[in-house]
Amino acid sequence: MNKVILFMTVLTFAVVAGCGGGGGGSKVTITKADNLFDDGDYQDAQDAYVSLIASEGAPAIAGAAWCSIRLHNYAQADSFFSAAGVTLNADGLAGWSFASWALNDPQDALDHATAALAANPAFTTLSIDPLVTSNHLIWIQASSYLQLDNPTECYNKIHLLDAGFAMPTGNAQQIASALLTKLTSLGVAVG
């Protein structure tokens, strides 16, 4: 817990120092940070979320981390998500799966995607970004299973995305190649 408090304090100080003390402007709120994110102004949105970490906790951390994902700074996103840890909601866990996947950590990506879907079984889209859907998380699960050399579970997840896809046959290399080809045809995770 002390690491989280230290992390949040350092980030808050960095934002305040970078803004020249923060006086005079309108009060930053989660809604304002969300609007900046919606507008694609990810750096300003991240600064706003970071300034809200002390008062808002996990939602602000998740927002800052999603900004890092959009800025392609996956290690920073992973650090934000790690700081929030068990307090993350489905949106945060989904983001953590994206960061882990981008950092080539298939086990963590799988664990976080599975946790996100379990935390909100009705999950259809990310509240911060409706372009991110449960299908992206299922794709991450399938990709992770393939990297973890579990073709059966990879197929099971692909089958959720394309019910008409039949389990490939052949030797292990041929099956893995066919699954990879199918995953590629389905697209990639957003990030």
Q: How many CA atoms lie within 13 A of 136 on its CB side?
A: 24
Residue 144 and residue 127 in one domain: yes
Q: List per-block mean pLDDT (blocks of 10 residues) for the chain, which spans 191 residues.
A: 36 37 66 95 97 91 94 95 83 92 96 92 80 91 97 96 94 95 81 46
Residue 83 and residue 128 in one domain: no
Residue 183 and residue 167 in one domain: yes
User: Tell me, what's the pLDDT at 17?
Assistant: 35
Model-level pTM? 0.79
Residue that finishes a domain, picked among 23, 55, 87: 87
User: Tell me, what's the pLDDT at 3?
Assistant: 38
User: Tell me, what's the pLDDT at 68?
Assistant: 96
User: Tell me, what's the pLDDT at 88?
Assistant: 82
CA distance 71 to 139: 21
User: Tell me, what's the pLDDT at 132?
Assistant: 86
Residue 103 and residue 51 in one domain: no
CB 22 within 8 A of CB 16: yes
User: Tell me, what's the pLDDT at 105?
Assistant: 97
Q: Report CA 177 to chain centroid distance, whole Å.
A: 27
Residue 96 and residue 66 in one domain: no
CA distance 96 to 2: 21
Residue that finishes a domain, picked among 37, 63, 87: 87
Residue 83 and residue 2 in one domain: yes
User: Tell me, what's the pLDDT at 153?
Assistant: 97
Q: What is the pLDDT of residues 128-153, one digit of tens each?
A: 888 888 999 999 999 999 999 999 99
User: Tell me, what's the pLDDT at 176?
Assistant: 95
User: Tell me, what's the pLDDT at 25?
Assistant: 53
Residue that finishes a domain, picked among 87, 116, 146: 87
Provide the domain count of the chain: 2
Could you tell me the residue range of the domain that residue 107 belongs to?
A: 89-191
Here the CATH number for the domain that contains residue 110 is 1.25.40
Joined tokens for residue 38:
């919606």
User: Tell me, what's the pLDDT at 137?
Assistant: 94
CB 37 within 8 A of CB 67: yes
Residue 73 and residue 106 in one domain: no
Residue 36 and residue 57 in one domain: yes
